[in-house]
């Protein structure tokens, strides 16, 4: 655990040296949701109707913007090759990198969601559903996206390929998260959605680091 925490701290310090790249997903998320009311008008009914889908499309695209950065700097400076021969298991190292990515990219999305929900005339119950859905699903997006990033890390322009690889896997998560927010806005019980999203999160937590480690090995062998 000490090694894991040290690896997370190391990645946080390394990523914070490039603040512009970290702010791009957050700024994109804020701009998309802020400008959308200007496009369709200030109608409370219309904005509430599109809020679930708008929130999650913006969150998904914002996360995809940063997926290529998880392993890129380590690949460029040769650190990934050192990780392969490290005494610390590679999946644990990669999980630390994914955790750092979520703390820097996913967590800010969670924090700004309640404020952006006000722009869409979302009530308190819907705001809670929005924030909970982002909190549960944003780690899953980072975990699943890391597999695509690992497979394309050796390519000069792997960002588009990451999106092509992981978008089909994101679809079920996107549907569940959007349904959860819609249920919350309608005043229904979304406990079942929470259980499903937690199950997907735990499944991703167990499988994604191992799959990412295999992807890194394949990329470095090529």
What is the DSSP secondary structure assignment for residue 167, as one 8-state letter? H
Q: What's the confidence (pLDDT) of residue 195? A: 94
Give me the half-sphere count of Cα atoms (radius 13 Å) on the Cβ side of residue 186: 12
* Number of domains within the chain: 1
Residue 163 phi, psi (nearest 5): -60, -45
CA gap 200, 192 in Å, rounded:
13
Per-residue pLDDT of the chain (222 residues; tens, 9 = 90+): 777 888 788 878 877 777 777 788 889 899 888 888 787 777 777 787 788 888 888 888 888 888 877 887 777 777 777 777 777 888 888 898 899 889 988 899 999 998 888 888 888 888 899 999 999 999 999 999 888 888 888 776 656 777 788 888 888 898 898 889 888 888 889 999 999 999 999 999 999 999 988 888 887 775
CA gap 199, 44 in Å, rounded:
34
Closest CA to 67 of 164, 159, 173, 169: 159
User: Could you report the per-residue pLDDT of 71-129, keeping only the tens digit for each?
Assistant: 877 777 777 777 777 778 888 888 988 998 899 888 999 999 988 888 888 888 888 99
Q: What's the confidence (pLDDT) of residue 157? A: 64
**What are the Cα distances from residue 31, in Å, to 17, 63, 110, 126?**
24, 14, 15, 21
pTM (2 d.p.): 0.87
Identify the domain containing residue 201 by its residue range. 2-221
- 28 neighbors 65 (Cβ within 8 angstroms): yes
Cα angle: 47, vertex 49, 54; to 5 degrees: 70
Q: What's the confidence (pLDDT) of residue 222? A: 57
Q: What's the confidence (pLDDT) of residue 137? A: 92
DSSP alpha helix (H) spans, the chain: 2-15, 19-40, 44-67, 72-76, 79-84, 90-101, 107-119, 124-152, 159-185, 191-221
10 Å CB burial of residue 72 (0-12, 13-18, 19+) is middle
Residue 15 phi, psi (nearest 5): -70, -30
Closest CA to 132 of 108, 104, 105, 113: 113
């Amino acid at each position: 655990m000490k090694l894991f925490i040290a690896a997370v701290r190391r990645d946080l310090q390394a990523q914070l040296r490039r603040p512009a790249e970290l702010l791009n997903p957050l700024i994109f998320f804020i701009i998309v949701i802020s400008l959308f009311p200007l496009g369709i008008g200030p109608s409370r009914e219309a904005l509430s109707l599109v809020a679930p889908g708008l929130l999650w499309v913006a969150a998904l695209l914002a996360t995809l913007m940063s997926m290529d950065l998880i392993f890129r700097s380590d690949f460029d400076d040769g650190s990934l090759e050192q990780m392969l021969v490290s005494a610390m298991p590679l999946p644990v190292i990669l999980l630390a990198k994914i955790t750092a990515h979520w703390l820097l990219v996913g967590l800010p999305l969670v924090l700004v969601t309640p404020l952006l929900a006000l722009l869409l005339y979302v009530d308190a119950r819907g705001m809670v559903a929005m924030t909970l859905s982002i909190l549960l699903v944003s780690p899953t997006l980072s975990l699943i996206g890391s597999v695509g990033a690992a497979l394309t890390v050796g390519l000069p322009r792997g960002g588009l390929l990451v999106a092509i690889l992981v978008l089909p896997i994101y679809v079920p998560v996107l549907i569940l998260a959007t349904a959860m927010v819609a249920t919350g806005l309608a005043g229904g019980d979304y406990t079942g959605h929470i259980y499903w999203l937690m199950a997907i999160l735990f499944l991703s937590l167990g499988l994604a680091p191992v799959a990412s480690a295999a992807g890194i090995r394949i990329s470095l062998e090529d």
